[in-house]
Structure formats: structure tokens, C-alpha cells
Structure 1
Amino acid sequence: MIRLRHMLRMAPSAGEIEGLASDDDVTFAPMEALADGVGGLDVSATRPLRDVAAGSYNYFRNGDVLVAKVTPCFENGKKALAADLKNGVGFATSEVHVLRPDPNKLDDRFLLYLLSSEDFRADGMRSMTGAGGLKRVSDAAILNYRLKIRVLATQKRVAAFLDRETTRIDELIAKKERLVDVLKENLLSELERLVTPEEHIHEELIPFRWVCRITEGQVDPTQPGWTNKPLIAPNHIESRTGRLLGMESAAEQGAISGKYAFPAGTVLYSKIRPNLAKACVSPVQGMCSADMYPVLPDRRLRPQFLLMHLLSAKFTDWATLESMRVAMPKINRETLGSYRLWVPALDVQDAAADKFFAEQARNEALTDKVKASLSHLREYRSALITAAVTGQIDVETYGKEGTASASLDRIEEEMQI
């Protein structure tokens, strides 16, 4: 093994820049320009050389490797291999290390994968210093890391192997992520269909205030009759699904100011940032914060069908537009009362709610399965990178024996939807 200090140079000097005028543009890379995981660099931002050369930014050029030094960016894997820089050079936030591999000793792609390995990341996290939540990986921690594969030709073979295998894994991940989006889009499309009359007639739409009442009157959450009852706030509701994520009592939340009481079966709607579409039907009696409207539909409107309206894109788009008329995005009672919604016969509402929520349950089960597959794939990619750059596998025989591609084939087959 050999220490990285013998294979690369850290923090090259901007003094090596030649042939550029002070008003020439160069790439500018704030922390958000670095991608997580295996890495990547957004080179779209530029600044004149004079604006960055004299500052506290870190200089780099094409071929250099950047890695975040500060929490939580280091743990998240922010890094990049610099390429396609404006005029061949760039300046990055001071919170990154700039590494320049010796081309005769260390392959730049191999170095990028090495920095992505769990072995390197764990070593770096153990070495972090600093106070509170702001800790950094020191220069010494990187320079003293012991490289297990020192032969350049072997490094290049490992990098080529990982380029091939991680590309395949990433393509499969992208496919699964798209499937999650499609499932969500299909469900929302079905929701719009179920809350919209087949033949749209304006007179069939009834103002919200005609069929719904927003309860008023507050209770003291510190009183014995209320302190142990659930207190529901927007953060307890999942966006756009109508799912109640959990319940906490008023006492558990340390509530002391007045809250709005409601009976079981009340529809709760978050009036703050309506673009998030946070609404649910409470299964129990409880209280809600002032950021929510407790809505009681009358006998003509089922709570579940009202919830479907509040989750629909039509209502959300309308509410979002209306909320922009005030400084803090929210929808007031009067405006909400003016919204016109379709209220069909109760049997039609019941059938629509049964269909939608059954479809939603199937959709969520399928989505959970796909997300489990995504987690499996990401874990496999991380383990494969670590094993390859630390010499635990022979990349020349690994794929041929079927333990790389075959494993991916098995994962893909198991997770087919």
C-alpha cells in the first residue's frame, strides 16, 4: 500500500494560470455545483477571472478532482472530476479539497471512484475535526489515506470496469425512478377523472361554503380533557396523498396556545402553502393548529370525496394561484368558501372513493416495492465500487464469472413490476 500523498498534489496554485485576461470568464463552482454519489460537476456558472482569483476560492483546472471537505456534504459524497471548464480553469468554494493526480501514478477516474468508496468515506469521517455540526476532513486525512492498488494499468482497468457496471446500475435506477413517477401520475390522473363530471356544466358545481363548514372556537390544550388528545399540524400529513403520517398528543408537542377542536371524521386542510396539498380525514377526535382548517361537510358530501377534491390538481392549482395574492402563501376562509366543486349523488361519491383509495393502496404497495429495489441497487453499487478500488475483487474475471452482471440480472429479474 502507498499513501495518496505520493500519488497526487493537493491545492494547486492559481499562479499557474497563463494566457487569460482578468475579464475572461472562468467556471465558478459553489458547493451545489457538485453532485452527490459518484459525482459530477455543473459547469454552467461562470465569473470573470478578476472576481474570483483574489478571493478565498479554490483554484482548479480540467483533470483535477474536487471533493467536499465539510459536513454533511462529505458524507453525501459531493465530488467531481473537472472537465469542460470555461477556458480550462475554474474556482470552487473553499469548502472543497482540490486534488491533482499524478498522471504517471494515479488514474483520475480511479481516484474519483476511490473517493466514492465506503472505505475512504469511513476513514474520512473518523478523521473529521471541528466544533458542533460543522466538521471538516483535513488535508492530512486525505494525503495519509493508504491506496491499495498502486499499479496504474490496474487502476485503469478498475475504472473502466466501474464505468461499465455503474452505468448499467444507474440506468436501472433511472428506470425505476421513472416508474415511481408514472405510478404517481397515473393515480393523479384517475383522481381528476373521479372528481370531475363527465359533461362539465357550471351549474352542477356548488360553492364550497354551501356544503362545508369550517369549525370555529378554540380549546385550551393544557386542560385535562385535551392535553392527551391528538394535535395534528401540517407536518403530520403527507403531501398530495391524504395520508396521516402519525399523531402526537398536545402534551407531547408542548402545546400551550389555543387549538381548534374537531370530531372524528373531520377533513383537515392546511391553509399554508396550498401547493403542497396537505389534507386528510382524521380517524379520531382531536385538535389542529391554526395553520389548518377543520372542515365538516354536510350530509350531501362524504368526507372522503371532499378529501379527493382537496387533493386534486384542479383544486390545488386554483388554491395556489389564490394564495399568491397575499405575502404569506395561504388561502383564507372566504376564498376557500367560493371554490366550486362537483357534489354528485352519495352512491356516486362512495363508488369513486372506494375506487380511488383502493387504487391508491395498490399504488403505494407497488411504489414501496420499487423503492426497496432502488435502495438495493444503490447499496449494491456502493459495495461494488468499494470492493473494486480496494482490490477485493479481480475485475478481469469478475464479470466473466457472472458475479457482477449476473447479480444485476438477478436483481432486475426479482424487481420486475
Structure 2
Amino acid sequence: MNHCPAGWESERLKDRVRFAYGDSLAAEDRNDGEFKVFGSNGIVGTHDRAITNGRTIIIGRKGSFGKVAWCDEPCFPIDTTYFVDSTQSKEDLRWIFYALESLQLDGLNFDSAVPGLSREVAYSMRLAFPRKPEQQRIAAYLDASCAAIDAAVPAKRRQIEALDGVRKDIIQKAVTRGLEEHPVLKKTGNVWMNELPVTWELISLKRVSEMQGGLTLGKVYEGPLIERPYLRVANVQDGHLNLQDVTTIEVPEEVAHRVELRPGDVLMTEGGDLDKLGRGTVWSGEIPDCLHQNHIFAIRCFKHKLLPSFLAYLTASRYGRDYFEATGKRTTNLASTNSTKVGLFPIPRPSISEQYAICQFLDEKLNHVAQIVNGIESQIATLNSYRKSLIHECVTGQRRVTDADLARVGRTETESTRA
């Protein structure tokens, strides 16, 4: 810290605060109780015993290292954390909590194998310490000033969740019922979709498309090879592609030709998390001469039968998610499908002209929803930035908190010192 306000003392963190290690407590050893159990990313359960003395600061040590959490009562921080309570510091704990937030400890990773926060590195950081009464005044002011932000951000995130539900409802109705308000329906006799508009047909995906398999990695080839980029499962997201990290591979030219992607291919994943199984994204030729791994199916729609964008919307709908989640093979942590199940995916198929109209409608509607979401996310970013800036200014003394400031936010100095 370059500037120390008058009356404050610049010292290393270790001179005023000690980080105690959390204790081991496996999930199966926890007994339901009144005390919160904290991991590096926050509350992970409860227990019938606490190891801290009263109010506690919890700092992520491994995993979500450097994340700072607060508990108003005794708790049980586990062994992926450090903690600070009244036995580790004589400073105002609530001020220390805000000061640790301002240090951005999550940027101090010195463990290359497992992300982690070194206690000694944290200890070496310098802070300007005001006297305890001023610490308490700052903490009370920040508690009041941040309370509105801390309430507003979750509310705005709930708005985004609600909009995601709206987005899903819009897709579901459009791809299974069309754009008419009250379409005439007919029975299909199919377990996955027992009704659909009378002018539509329900048809297996394999009857309106062809499927291209991908590269099997690790295979040894002889003869001349060419280097080509190829997509992995991680590159195919739900409704979009992540092309920031695209790997290359060397294969014979004839192999590359067999697994080369074409604009209009719908990419569907074979395995991964259950909720991402079968997710479809349209390939638009973003990378020339790009290949794909065998865990990605490239679905090539018959253009006079099925639009790629309509198929992509189907895989994103609740109907599509239900099919792939129900037919997927589940293991402990992952799930998978296969070419047979993908080929049997029942497609509610309107005419090509109606598919065009539906896709245009969805493009416009979802773009509008996305703009609203982007606006809310921008508001959240602004609130978080203001909160971070306010805390930094107050705990570094750039903004001196007065009794008048406390009165303005309706707080008193003693409100930060409750036991």
C-alpha cells in the first residue's frame, strides 16, 4: 500500500491477523445440527458442533481459493478453508472481513497442482490499520451501504432465471405447437409427443437427415498426414460454440475428408453432463476445414425436409431435453447417448415454410429476451463494481467515514461490534 492515512498504521497482515486452518469433516461424518459447515465456496451443510468462537470470517484455501465469506455465529469451516474469529485477531472482525475482500486474495494462487491460497503469501500483504473505533465506524457504514446492493444483486439474478424460463416456454410452444394461438391438434400415439398440430407429422430424425461420425483420437496413421483443426465436446455449448480453444490433429487427407464439417451441420454431443446431452448447435463454417471428434455427431439435415436451425431449437426445447435425458445412459458423474437414440429422436415436423417462420419468430423473440438479460447483467456488473470500489475506498482510507456518514445511512458505530 503506497499511502497510509494520518492516524493509521501500515503493517503486514500477519502482524494483526492469524489464519487458522479449518478441520476435516467429510460429508458422511456430518450430523444435522444448528451450526453451518463452510467449504471454500460457502455453506456446504450443517453439523452439531462448531469449531469457531462467535462471528467468523472464512477464507477459501483450496478450490475456490481466496473467496471470503462471513458467518454471524459459531460455525465449522472444513479443511479447504482458513478462518478468523476473535481468537485470531484483536481487530474489528467485520472491518477485517471487508479489508480481506479488498485484497483480492483469489488472485494469489501459488499452488500449480491444485489452485490454492498460500497463508504466508497472504500474511506478507500490507494493510493500513485504523484504530479500532474507526474500524467499527467503517464496518457499520459498509454494512449499511452494501446491504442494498447485496439484496439487489440476487433479485436481479432471479429476474434472469425467470427470463430463462420465459425463453424456454417460447421455444417449447413454437417447436411443438407452432405460431397459432390455438392450433387444431391430432393424436400421434407416440409416447414422447402424443399430440401435435394437425398439419404436422412426427418422424424420426434418421428419416430426415444423415449422421456423420467423427474422429477417434489416439489412432495411429501411416503415410502422409495433414494438420487440421477439430472440435471437442467442450467446444459445443448449449446453443452456441466456444471456439477459444480449438485443438489440431494430423490425419490422412481421406480421413479428414470423411469427418469434415459443412456449414449447416447440427452438432450434437454424445456425452457429458446429463443436462447437456444431445445439445444441438448449428455449424456455420466458423473455422475452415474443421473436423470433429467422435463424441460429437454432425447431423446433416435433408434441406427439403428439415431446417438445421429448427432442429437446433428442438434440441434446446424442454421436449428435446426430456427425450435425451430420459434415453441417456447414466453413470456416476456423466451421461451418454448413441447414434441409434439420436436417430430415433421424434421430430415434430411442420412444412419447410412453417419451419422458416418459426425460426424467424424465435430468432426475434429470443434476441429480445437476450437484450433484456444483457441489460440486467450490466446492472449487476455495475452494482458489483460500485460495491468493490466503495469497500476499497473505505478500508484504505481514501474515503474517511464520519459519524455524519453513519447517520445518513441510518446506522451507529456500535452496530458493527455486536458479539
Give the TM-score normalised by structure 1: 0.72
Distance of 2:116 and 2:206 partners within structure 1 = 54
The answer for the alignment partner of 1:383 in structure 2 is 389
Q: Is the 8 A contact 1:81 1:109 kept in 2?
A: no
The answer for the alignment partner of 1:68 in structure 2 is 60
Matched, 1:396 2:396: no
The answer for the alignment partner of 2:95 in structure 1 is 110
The answer for the alignment partner of 2:161 in structure 1 is 181
Distance of 2:145 and 2:244 partners within structure 1 = 44
Deviation string, structure 1 residues 317-373 (Cα, Å, up to 9, x no partner): 111111136786222222222222211111111000011122233333333333233
Aligned to 1:201, the other structure's residue is in SS state strand
Letter in 1 for 2:343: G
The answer for the alignment partner of 1:56 in structure 2 is none
Q: Is the 8 A contact 1:221 1:227 kept in 2?
A: no
Q: How does 1:6-17 map to 2 (within 5 A)?
A: 11=20
Q: In the superposition, relative to structure 1, how do residues 236 and 109 fare at CA in structure 2: closer, same or farther (>3 Å)? A: same
The answer for the alignment partner of 2:133 in structure 1 is 153
Matched, 1:317 2:322: yes
Q: How does 1:10-89 map to 2 (within 5 A)?
A: 11=20, 27=35, 29=37, 31-32=39-40, 35=42, 42=43, 44-46=45-47, 59-69=51-61, 73-74=65-66, 77-81=67-71, 83-85=73-75
Q: Is the 8 A contact 2:55 2:85 kept in 1?
A: no
Distance of 1:132 and 1:341 partners within structure 2 = 46
Matched, 1:211 2:208: yes
Q: Is the 8 A contact 1:71 1:136 kept in 2?
A: no
Give the TM-score normalised by structure 2: 0.72
The answer for the alignment partner of 1:19 in structure 2 is none
Q: Is the 8 A contact 1:110 1:159 kept in 2?
A: yes
Task: Tell me the CA shift for residue 26 of structure 1.
Answer: 8.6
The answer for the alignment partner of 1:269 in structure 2 is 268
Task: Tell me the CA shift for residue 71 of structure 1.
Answer: 7.0
CA RMSD of aligned residues (A): 4.1
Aligned to 2:86, the other structure's residue is in SS state strand
The answer for the alignment partner of 2:348 in structure 1 is 342
The answer for the alignment partner of 2:361 in structure 1 is 355
Deviation string, structure 1 residues 77-98 (Cα, Å, up to 9, x no partner): 233345154xxxx463164143
> Across the two proteins, how many residue pairs are aligned to each other?
363
Distance of 2:112 and 2:292 partners within structure 1 = 39
Q: In the superposition, relative to structure 1, how do residues 353 and 140 fare at CA in structure 2: closer, same or farther (>3 Å)? A: closer
Q: Is the 8 A contact 2:205 2:343 kept in 1?
A: yes
Deviation string, structure 1 residues 103-124 (Cα, Å, up to 9, x no partner): 9x53222221122113x749x9
Distance of 2:355 and 2:203 partners within structure 1 = 15
Aligned to 1:213, the other structure's residue is in SS state strand
Q: How does 1:227-266 map to 2 (within 5 A)?
A: 227-228=227-228, 230-239=229-238, 241=239, 243-246=240-243, 252-256=247-251, 260-266=259-265
Q: In the superposition, relative to structure 1, how do residues 330 and 395 fare at CA in structure 2: closer, same or farther (>3 Å)? A: same
Q: Is the 8 A contact 2:63 2:114 kept in 1?
A: yes
The answer for the alignment partner of 1:295 in structure 2 is 299
Q: In the superposition, relative to structure 1, how do residues 179 and 131 fare at CA in structure 2: closer, same or farther (>3 Å)? A: closer
Name structure 2 gaps, 5 residues minimum.
1-7, 24-30, 178-182, 189-200, 411-419
Deviation string, structure 1 residues 15-49 (Cα, Å, up to 9, x no partner): xxxxxxxx9979574524x53xxxxxx38432679
Task: Tell me the CA shift for residue 179 of structure 1.
Answer: 2.5
Name structure 1 gaps, 5 residues minimum.
15-22, 36-41, 50-58, 406-417
Q: Is the 8 A contact 1:30 1:93 kept in 2?
A: no
Q: Which has the higher helix share?
A: 1
Aligned to 2:52, the other structure's residue is in SS state strand
The answer for the alignment partner of 1:305 in structure 2 is 310
Distance of 1:296 and 1:275 partners within structure 2 = 23
Task: Between 107-116 and 131-140, report the one with greater CA deviation.
Answer: 131-140
State, as a whole percentage, how many aligned pairs show the same letter.
17
Distance of 1:268 and 1:379 partners within structure 2 = 37
Q: Is the 8 A contact 1:27 1:91 kept in 2?
A: no
Aligned to 2:391, the other structure's residue is in SS state helix
The answer for the alignment partner of 2:193 in structure 1 is none
User: Relative CO higher for 1 or 2, CA cutoff 8 Å, sep ≥ 6?
Assistant: 2
Task: Between 156-165 and 207-216, report the one with greater CA deviation.
Answer: 207-216
Q: In the superposition, relative to structure 1, how do residues 224 and 278 fare at CA in structure 2: closer, same or farther (>3 Å)? A: farther
